[in-house]
Structure 1
Amino acid sequence: MSDSDSESLSESTILPALGACVVFTIDAVASLDPETLEDPEAVKACMSLASKPYVGFVAKRMGIYQPWNPHNGCMIGFLLQGRPKSIPSKSLESSMSIPIAPMTIGDHPSSRSPLNPSNPLPWNDCYLSTFWSAKVLSPTLMTETPIACKLARDEMRQLSRFLMADVRRHDILSAESSSASRSADLGDAEKEPGAPNPASSAEYDTAQPPSSGLRATIPPLAEDRGMLFSSPIGKPAIDDETESVKELIDYIFSKPASEMPITVNFTNDLSTVKELNDPADYFNELKALVRIREESRLRLASARALAIKEAAELNAKYDEPTINMLLARPQRRGRLSRFASATKKRIAGPVRPLLRFLWLRK
């Protein structure tokens, strides 16, 4: 058996396996930190959350897989049905996508050939997007369920090349957008008499261009630093700029995926999913989970503040008599000492001559 065959056999029992197409759901309770787990209200709210199944490819492991750890991390690339749309405001293009066989849509904007898994996907016209990904934790488990679809090493290398090309393209577009935006700001400043020059302001000098600020918080799958946004065809139209879509985009671009470690449960059984769910729903679930955690922290902070207040009131109630007693103790000790000294003198006066007479008779 070759090394590659041995590795493939070994990885086929690991859940999830690198390069495998998997189904995963958020485990809300397992995602809570130990402090929030002590809050019954938060646990109950998490148990009531409905988690949809999502499908994706295991693009990368987060660090070295450690079978002795209770959890291991990986980067998941969401599987999208339909070519992602362009979002010019975020410097994203439809070409920043990777087709996966079977594919009935031709003429990819980047002339890319579909990647071919070990077995065809049960859904047609699926894509991976450079900017649809999430870092997740999963329980360290072995599974007997075989891997239905998996990208071979050559396909994984091709995927990596596509991802890096999209990252470079996104950088170029972001830099151009940033330059155009600054030029427009300078032009507006020149048109307004007495307006401050942005180029001379400290805020302008220290501000990062949009691409740098964006990549600092939510960078793409290819660079293993987070997640960006792209919308598949057939979902709410980005072109309509509806409030819900705009809010979701703003949330995703402003909140790093690694802000809260999310634990998910994986399965290799693709037959459990008949239709791909929108990855946007995943991040809506994440928003709900973050909200539960923050509300729990507020309750905990309020409870702590109340406990401190009650303890202070009890201390004030019982400490005043105690303090008065302690302050009075040295005074009483002094009075007792003076009384004892005077008593000794009164007794010693008449007794001393008698004691001297008895001693001389000896």
Structure 2
Amino acid sequence: MIPHFGEYIAFKLNPVASLESLKDAEVAKACEALETKTYVACVTYLLCLPVPGVEYIQVAMTLLSSGLSPGQPDRFILSDMAVAVLPNTSNPLSRAPLNPTVPLPWPDCFHPTQATTRCRIRNDFTIGNPWPNPKYQLETEDGLLEDYCWEDAERKQALREEHQPLTGDDGAADHLDEREASVVTLPLPSEHDGESHHSRPASIVDDALPTASDWFSKMSKFFHGLVTKASRCVPCIHTRLDDDDVKDFSDDPIWGISLFGTLPPDTMPVIDVLEDLESVKQINDPWDFFRELDALKRIQAEYHEQMKAKLRADIDRARQKDKELHTRLESKMPQREPSSEDTILSVVKEDTT
């Protein structure tokens, strides 16, 4: 299920799909053992468009909490770094609540503005299928949520600088925001992954194709509707940003994308979107989701350590075999009898010493 910009979704982490590209049975077994919960978030951006044939799309989200989250004091994230969502009318920092198209089905919801992350969602969109507007969506206030996120990110940075003065490279490292800290290590996409991304979906491959004019008409309507919806929220064509803003955000990975986006890294977390948001009876602590991501990181880190150890062992075995082969070859070489010249030279050396 492909979400819209500003849509509220319920989702769960899919650990197995997240690290499937490692193609390791032990990793898959460890991922299956992870316990995951259901969370709710607002999709603030589709970081690449759901173009047919692309296996996954990348989204940016801000998670939802029930009541004010305790925050993460050790990371300088305070509980009041939040904004309420109707029907909740509480006002941390005197902020007016966000107003979705329909008030959320829970009474006491907040967005902890620093609980943001990027994930992959399987692209199941097919040209010609409807993409109806969602029931719960920040249709006009997604930009306001974004503003609060940046405002609180600056507060967090100021608190960090107050307690830990920034110097040199350490300062540059500390400047990474929560979005970077919340994402599993991101290697470059593999070649096999890129090939699979360009395969045609099964819904088109085996079915009889319509006439060319009908097909191109559908394509035209699809891309026209897609670009119309994207024009307001895709970062690269975001109308709210002037030139100075673009320069300021150019180093942020969320902004540094093209219209159709790059392929998401093949170990970026994968989430499964639930079809019925109202089926969620309890909103779990959003920070538990980041703890799940930490567990996923540990599995990946252990895998890479095992691969390094295996590589070192393979290198040591290869060196040992090479050494043994060299010894065997030397032992089989004919021994040369010393000549008279060699004897004279050895005598001369002994006399000189």
Aligned-partner Cα distance in 2 for 1:226–1:321: 54
Pair 135,226 (structure 1): closer, same or farther in 2 beyond 3 Å: farther
Note the 1:85-234 alignment, pairs <5 A. 85=70, 90-103=75-88, 106=90, 108-142=91-125, 147-152=134-139, 154-175=140-161, 177-178=162-163, 206=168, 208=170, 213-216=173-176, 218-219=177-178
Partner-residue secondary structure (3-state), 1:283 = helix
Percent identical among aligned pairs is 25
Give the structure 2 partner of residue 21 of structure 1.
Answer: 8
After superposition, where does 1:336-347 map in structure 2 within 5 Å?
Answer: none
Deviation, 1:275, is: 0.5
Offset, 1:83:
1.9
1:67–1:100 CA distance, 2 compared to 1 (3 A): farther
TM-score with structure 2 setting the length = 0.61
1:309 and 1:226 map into 2 onto residues whose CA distance is 36
SS at match of 2:16: coil
C-alpha change, 1:299 and 1:94, in structure 2 (3 Å) is closer
Q: How far is 1:90 from its partner?
A: 4.6
With 52-61 and 287-296 compared, the bigger mean Cα shift is at: 287-296
1:72 aligned partner: 57
- Given the superposition, is the C-alpha separation of residues 270 and 317 from structure 1 closer, same or farther in structure 2, using an over 3 Å criterion? same
1:280 aligns with 2:320: no
Deviations 1:286-315, CA, capped at 9 Å, x for gaps? 222222222222333333333334444444
Figure out how many residues of one structure are paired with residues of the other and give that number: 254
Shift of 1:171: 4.1
Instruction: Indicate yes or no: 2:57 matched with 1:57.
Output: no
Q: Provide the residue aligned with 1:298 in structure 2.
A: 305
The answer to whether the Cα contact below 8 Å between 1:260 and 1:290 also exists between their aligned partners in 2 is: no
Amino acid at match of 1:120: P
Identify the structure with bigger relative contact order (alpha carbons < 8 Å, sequence gap 6+).
2
Instruction: Describe the shift of the 1:46–1:80 C-alpha distance in structure 2 as closer, same or farther (beyond 3 A).
Output: same
Contact 1:135 1:226 in 2 (8 A): no
* Paired amino acid for 1:19: G
Deviations 1:93-139 (A, max 9, x none): 44421111111x53x13222221222221211101122111111121
Closer, same or farther: CA 297–128 of 1 in aligned 2, 3 Å: same
Q: Distance in 2 between matches of 1:139 and 1:46?
A: 18
Larger radius of gyration: 1
Gaps of 5+ in 2: 184-252, 255-264, 337-353
Distance 1:292 1:41 in 2: 10
Contact 1:42 1:296 in 2 (8 A): yes
Q: The residue matched to 1:60 in structure 2 has which SS?
A: strand
1:83 paired with 2:68, answer yes
| Partner AA of 2:40 in structure 1 | V
